[in-house]
Structure 1
Amino acid sequence: MAQGTVTFISGGARSGKSAYAERLLVAQATGRLVYIASGVAFDHEMEERIAKHQHDRKDHAWLTIEQPVDLHQVVPLLQQGDFVLWDCLTTWLTNEMYKGIEDGAPCWKRPDCLDQKRCELLHTIEQIREIAAHLVIVSNEVLDEWPHYDEETEFYRNAIGTTHQQIVQCADAAIEMDHGLPVVWKGDVR
């Protein structure tokens, strides 16, 4: 059985990542359109962003799966030949980093916790690739070089950078959105 395609799309805030990813999958879809949402409406701005994304998808029959943590739980919900959009990796990473904070032990403070989450994520991406015709992963480019970050921010910056590199290595295509324009760094995107 042929493996599905994995496309990684990154870019800054409001660069057009999600809209581009949606158009890419809608243009190719011969199966279900599945949207995996990692966002949690924890404030008014996030509520507005989620509502906008939902509105943008209204013209197509997207199946939305809310999955802020434990991405592996979506695998049994997928069907062979699905066209899957996961939006977004950076939100998922933040959610996973702070999982356990209510008990005073967030993941980012526990030894190897986030490394285990990243290994599980890469395994989950491969599982989705075996089911889906096309998986598009959206992520944010955040935290360009500054002279100094606090410990928590530096941990996040390193974690997202490492995760991006690992995903791009296994992806078929890697695209950076810049001012609404896709810049293809790896693969052939049609």
Structure 2
Amino acid sequence: MLPTGTFVLGGAASGKSEWAENFILSRNLAVTYLATGRAEDDETRFRVDVHKARRDARWVTVEEPLELAGPLTALAPDTPVLIDCATMWLSNQMMIEADLAVATENLLEALRACPAPWVIVSNEVGHGIVPDNKLARQFREAQGRLNIALAREADLAVMVVAGIPQILKGALA
């Protein structure tokens, strides 16, 4: 059985998405994959293709870069959802100059109202150097605040480093 909410954190290319996918699939359930990324260049399209290649017929993909409440609240209770990822969702919000406090609260409310178990993947961006430009600093700060909120909301929080999960909160069942 999956926890009600699971937060999976890690650096870029740390194995966090693959770990989250395997965590859900180990329960032998059909899964909704809620994709927040926009494949607008060749590099991003390649990364999306790598992610898609790992998923088989058990996955139903819903692409939604901004408004997650609708897809989350429409799920059946027995169909868990993997949201990949909070970092792209936040970036998308910033690109349209959304009110991040409102957008974050809407996301948290949608997670609370979600009838299905959820797993959300996010990047840890606070382990590097202080960015040299204002927008990057604003993003790093906003990502840190979002990660804190998601970790608070989750029953299980996992940090993936080099493909190895480290439990930060809760316990694996």
TM-score per shorter chain, which class? over 0.9
Deviation at residue 5 of structure 1 after TM alignment: 1.3
Give the TM-score, by structure 1 length: 0.85
Residue 93 of structure 2: aligned partner:
96
Deviation at residue 82 of structure 1 after TM alignment: 1.1
Residue 55 of structure 1: aligned partner:
53
Contact 2:7 2:158 in 1 (8 A): yes
Larger deviation, residues 145-154 vs 84-93: 145-154
Distance 2:88 2:23 in 1: 21
Letter of the 1:94 counterpart: S
Distance 1:69 1:5 in 2: 22
Distance 2:8 2:59 in 1: 19
Distance 1:171 1:147 in 2: 28
Distance 2:160 2:90 in 1: 20
Deviation at residue 87 of structure 1 after TM alignment: 0.2
Q: Of residues 104, 115, 129 in structure 2, which corresponds to 1:118?
A: 104
Per-residue CA distance 1:51-90 (angstroms, 9 max, x = gap): 11111002x4201000101111213531121111000000
Distance 1:5 1:13 in 2: 25
Letter of the 2:89 counterpart: W
Distance of aligned partners of 1:53 and 1:158 in 2 relative to their CA distance in 1, 3 Å threshold: same
Residue 110 of structure 1: aligned partner:
none
- The answer for unaligned runs of 5 or more in structure 1 is 100-105, 108-112
2:70 aligns to what SS in structure 1? helix
Q: Of residues 27, 42, 45 in structure 1, which corresponds to 2:43?
A: 45
Give RMSD over aligned pairs: 1.7
Distance 2:130 2:33 in 1: 37
Q: Of residues 115, 140, 149 in structure 2, which corresponds to 1:166?
A: 149
Runs of 4+ in 1 over 6 A off after TM superposition: none
Asked if 1:33 is matched to 2:16, the reply is: no
Contact 1:168 1:174 in 2 (8 A): yes
Distance 1:78 1:181 in 2: 30
Residue 78 of structure 1: aligned partner:
75
Contact 2:126 2:144 in 1 (8 A): no
Greater Rg over alpha carbons, structure: 1
2:137 aligns to what SS in structure 1? helix
2:26 aligns to what SS in structure 1? helix
2:142 aligns to what SS in structure 1? helix
Q: Of residues 101, 112, 127 in structure 1, which corresponds to 2:113?
A: 127
- The answer for unaligned runs of 5 or more in structure 2 is none
Asked if 1:144 is matched to 2:143, the reply is: no
Distance 1:170 1:47 in 2: 31
Q: Among all aligned residue pairs of Structure 1 and Structure 2, give the percentage whose two residues are the same amino acid.
A: 33
1:115 aligns to what SS in structure 2? helix
Give the TM-score, by structure 2 length: 0.92
Distance 2:132 2:140 in 1: 9
Contact 1:29 1:83 in 2 (8 A): no
Aligned length: 172
Per-residue CA distance 1:21-76 (angstroms, 9 max, x = gap): 1111011144x311000011111011011111111002x42010001011112135
